[in-house]
Structure 1
Amino acid sequence: MNAKELKQVKEQLKEGHFPQWMVTDPDIYKLEQDKIFAKTWLFIGHESEVKEPGDYVTRMMAEDPVLMMKNKQGEINVFLNSCSHRGTRLCTEDYGNKKAHTCPYHGWTYSLDGDLIGVVAGNKVFGEKMDKGDWGLRPIPRVESYQGMIFGNLDPEAEPLEDYLGNMKWYFDIMLGRSDGGMEVWGVPHRWVAKANWKMTSENFAADPYHVQTTHRSAVELELTPKDPMYASYGHQVVLDNGHGINVITSETGRSRLKYQGMPEDMWPMFERNLTENQQEVFSRVTNFVGGVFPNLSFISTQSGSEGNGHNHLNFRVWRPLGPDKIEILVWFMIDKALPYEFKKKSYRGFLNTFGAAGTLEQDDTENWARIVEASQGKMARDRSLNYNNVINYLMGFDNLEPDKEFPGPGTAYPSCYTDHIARSMHRYWLSLITADMEEEEKV
């Protein structure tokens, strides 16, 4: 992207437009890897996935394989999943428990602290000068957690995680910190590959309840969601800093039919102990929370599902880019530790039937994401000039929706979820990151 194109894109974003050529452009994708995924906080996993010393999971931070494991002292560490000898991926399993990790290539062995503790043939082949202390696993530069959610950052100079999350912490406290003992992951993350661009999937969850009644028409016909075409619009869309955002969806009356998303009444005293009055007010009214943390973490807490509205479920998901037109989707099901087992089981079934890998709603979404990619890869759609007016529309609420100053939570809250305020904020922040160096050069 040159200075002229940058200026053009900035103007288009100001007008509520987004250039379609930027969706799947390979050069833009390379910039995203360097300027976004190497610089922002990326979700790795939840502390409940590594309960005991020796427990580990392997994940990907965009293109970097990582190994998250708990040591004997109960600390959770994250390392590049690469042997320091020849760079081979050290651990190939998705999860498990080991006392140490041995490389399948040449047999180098590492402790739960990442220290190199065993070298095949040792001094006989490497001599006395090689210090094993210099050849341990390489730790991810920054690893921090919030409410049990573990994030990593490849930039050692990155701002602290809590600063990056900003006011999203207030909403995370409702979803993740409302009950005694916090949350736990049930099962292992669902994983599958889809034809899609990560920007569009992130936007779909964080910013687009407008698609619900059309894309998920099957859910309406199965009576999993109401027939009212405005159903997903009621409530507030809340714009937060750093491209984050959340939709607090209620009902037409401004209140959910079921208080606290249908959670058992004997849990309510916990909510009152752990949440502020304003947080209780928002949680007691909400039907669905759906939103995202930039760049590629999304979440939904919903009452919908075949098990009935009495069994809500929470899932977090990562849209890992595999290229400009392909992603790997990882979905974690999380539930309050304090809930009865039967409630957890029914909630999990509801999740599987809707937002699991083969769930009804999940299949609806992936079809549309593939169509976006298909329509954005041709010569006409990729033309960077103004010849074809190659922009897509983000004009909902652009000039006819004012913030609701009475909303009890932080952020800029708009009194409808059928608006593009979060999407526009995401795209502006995205552009600021991938063009940071260019903007500095322009100032000079």
Structure 2
Amino acid sequence: MNAEELKQVKEQLKEGHFPQWMVTDPEIYKLEQNKIFAKTWLFIGHESEVKEPGDYVTRMMADDPVLMMKNKKGEINAFLNSCSHRGTRLCTEDYGNKKAHSCPYHGWTYNLVGDLIGVVAGNKVFGEKMDKGDWGLRSIPRVESYQGMIFGNLDPDAIPLEEYLGDMKWYFDIMLGRSDGGMEVRGAPHRWVAKANWKMTSENFAADPYHVQTTHRSAVELELTPKDPMYASYGHQVVMNNGHGINVITSPTGESANKYQGMPEHMWPMFEKNLTQEQLDVFSKVTNFVGGVFPHLSFISTQSGTEGNKHNHLNFRVWRPIGPDKIEIWVWYMIDKALPEEDKEKSYRGFLNTFGAGGTLEQDDTENWARIVEASQGKMARDRGLNYDNVINYLMGFDNLEPDENFPGPGVAYPSCYTDHIARSMHKYWLELITADMEEENV
């Protein structure tokens, strides 16, 4: 971006507009890789996925392959999943348990703390000069966790995870820390590739309940969701620092038909012990939590079921960019460890039918995301001069919605979820990051 383009983008964002050329522009994508995904905290997995020493999972931090494993001391570490000999991807399995990892190329072997412990033919081919201590696996520079959620950061100078999460911790405590023992991941994460841009998918979850009644019309017709076109608007949209946000969706009365999202009554004393009164007030009334942690972690805590029996389920998801117009979607299903097994199974089935890879709601969203990409790649949409008025609209709540000072949770809460306050906040932070360190005359 040159100085004139940057000035124009800033002016458009202030007006609630987003230039469409920036959605899938290859140059912008390169900036995002270097300025956002190499500098922010990215979700890797949950501690319940590596329960025993030797347990491991392989993940991706944008383009960087990651090997996360638990050592004999119970510590969870994350390394670049690349052999230090020739750079081959060391571990090709998605998950498992091993005492050591051997490279399939030349057989170099690493222990659970990443030390190089075995070299084929050793001194016979490398002599005495090579020190194995210099050739262990490369650690991800920063690995930190909150409520069992493990994040990594490629920037060794990044602010601490808890500082980055900020006010979102209060809401994570409700979803992840409400019951004794916390949460656990059930099954392996679902994964699939979609034609989409990561900004639009992140925004869809974090900031856009407005799409529910149109995009998910089939769910309305199946009576999975109410017919009221304002159904997903009731409640509060909460804006936080660093591009994070959450929608606390309730009902026309401000209450929920299913207290504590329909969780069994015998668990309520746990909630009342583990949460503050303000958190209980929000949790007891919420129908759905849906939001995101910038840049590409989203979550939804909702209820699904049939014949009047609904069960809560929580899923966390990562929109991993693999191009300006393509993403790999990762979805983790999570549930309270303390929930009876029968309820866990019913909850899991509800998740599969709605937000699993083949779920009805998931297919609806994926189709629209592909259409955004298709419509954003032509000459008119890509015109940087905006000669065709090629901006997209983020004007909901722009000048007609004031914060609700009485909302009990942290963040700036607006009394409707049909608003673009989170989306505008995301775009503002996004621009700050991709323009960081530019020459002063270009800012």
**Structure-1-length-normalised TM-score:** 0.99
* Kept after mapping to 2: 8 A contact 1:25/1:324: yes
| Secondary structure of 1:187's aligned partner | coil
**Shift of residue 370 of structure 1?**
0.1
* Kept after mapping to 2: 8 A contact 1:288/1:302: yes
* Kept after mapping to 1: 8 A contact 2:90/2:102: yes
| Structural mapping, 1:270-289, within 5 Å | 270-289=270-289
Is 1:342 the counterpart of 2:342? The answer is yes
* Deviations 1:340-382, CA, capped at 9 Å, x for gaps: 0000000000000000000000000000000000000011100
User: Which whole-Å CA distance do the structure 1 matches of 2:310 and 2:265 have between them?
Assistant: 11
- Report the AA paired with residue 38 of structure 1: A
* 1:169 match: 169
Is 1:388 the counterpart of 2:388? The answer is yes
* 2:258 match: 258
* 2:406 match: 406
RMSD value over aligned CA atoms? 0.9
| Secondary structure of 2:143's aligned partner | strand
User: Which whole-Å CA distance do the structure 2 matches of 1:307 and 1:125 have between them?
Assistant: 69
Is 1:239 the counterpart of 2:244? The answer is no
| Structural mapping, 1:219-230, within 5 Å | 219-230=219-230
| Structural mapping, 1:71-82, within 5 Å | 71-82=71-82
After alignment, is 430-439 or 323-332 more displaced?
430-439
* Kept after mapping to 2: 8 A contact 1:306/1:353: no
| Structural mapping, 1:18-417, within 5 Å | 18-306=18-306, 308-417=308-417
* Kept after mapping to 2: 8 A contact 1:21/1:382: yes
User: Which whole-Å CA distance do the structure 2 matches of 1:280 and 1:327 have between them?
Assistant: 36
| Secondary structure of 1:438's aligned partner | coil
**Shift of residue 310 of structure 1?**
2.8
Task: Report % sequence identity.
Answer: 89
* Deviations 1:55-106, CA, capped at 9 Å, x for gaps: 0000000000000000001000000000000000000000000000000000
Change in CA separation of 1:342 and 1:122 when aligned onto 2, cut-off 3 Å: same
Change in CA separation of 1:440 and 1:269 when aligned onto 2, cut-off 3 Å: farther
* Kept after mapping to 1: 8 A contact 2:304/2:347: no
| Secondary structure of 2:229's aligned partner | coil
- Report the AA paired with residue 214 of structure 1: T
| Secondary structure of 1:261's aligned partner | helix
**Shift of residue 386 of structure 1?**
2.8
After alignment, is 27-36 or 309-318 more displaced?
309-318
**Shift of residue 440 of structure 1?**
4.1
* Deviations 1:175-229, CA, capped at 9 Å, x for gaps: 0000000000000000000000000000000000000000000000111000000
User: Which whole-Å CA distance do the structure 2 matches of 1:120 and 1:345 have between them?
Assistant: 47
* Kept after mapping to 1: 8 A contact 2:304/2:312: yes
Q: Which runs of 5 or more residues in structure 1 are unaligned?
A: none
- Report the AA paired with residue 2 of structure 1: N
| Secondary structure of 2:188's aligned partner | strand
User: Which whole-Å CA distance do the structure 2 matches of 1:409 and 1:329 have between them?
Assistant: 30
User: Which whole-Å CA distance do the structure 1 matches of 2:296 and 2:119 have between them?
Assistant: 39
* Kept after mapping to 1: 8 A contact 2:235/2:415: yes
User: Which whole-Å CA distance do the structure 2 matches of 1:207 and 1:268 have between them?
Assistant: 30
* Kept after mapping to 1: 8 A contact 2:247/2:291: yes
Q: Which runs of 5 or more residues in structure 2 are unaligned?
A: none
**Structure-2-length-normalised TM-score:** 0.99
* Kept after mapping to 2: 8 A contact 1:244/1:294: yes
User: Which whole-Å CA distance do the structure 1 matches of 2:297 and 2:309 have between them?
Assistant: 25
User: Which whole-Å CA distance do the structure 2 matches of 1:245 and 1:439 have between them?
Assistant: 30
* 1:9 match: 9
* Deviations 1:286-340, CA, capped at 9 Å, x for gaps: 0000000000000000013447553111000000001000000000000000000
- Report the AA paired with residue 173 of structure 2: D
- Report the AA paired with residue 235 of structure 1: G
User: Which whole-Å CA distance do the structure 2 matches of 1:82 and 1:308 have between them?
Assistant: 50
After alignment, is 51-60 or 383-392 more displaced?
383-392
User: Which whole-Å CA distance do the structure 2 matches of 1:383 and 1:313 have between them?
Assistant: 43
User: Which whole-Å CA distance do the structure 2 matches of 1:18 and 1:306 have between them?
Assistant: 40
User: Which whole-Å CA distance do the structure 2 matches of 1:115 and 1:147 have between them?
Assistant: 28
* Kept after mapping to 1: 8 A contact 2:2/2:442: no
Change in CA separation of 1:308 and 1:206 when aligned onto 2, cut-off 3 Å: farther
User: Which whole-Å CA distance do the structure 1 matches of 2:238 and 2:300 have between them?
Assistant: 15
Change in CA separation of 1:307 and 1:140 when aligned onto 2, cut-off 3 Å: farther
| Secondary structure of 2:189's aligned partner | strand
User: Which whole-Å CA distance do the structure 2 matches of 1:84 and 1:424 have between them?
Assistant: 43
- Report the AA paired with residue 269 of structure 1: P
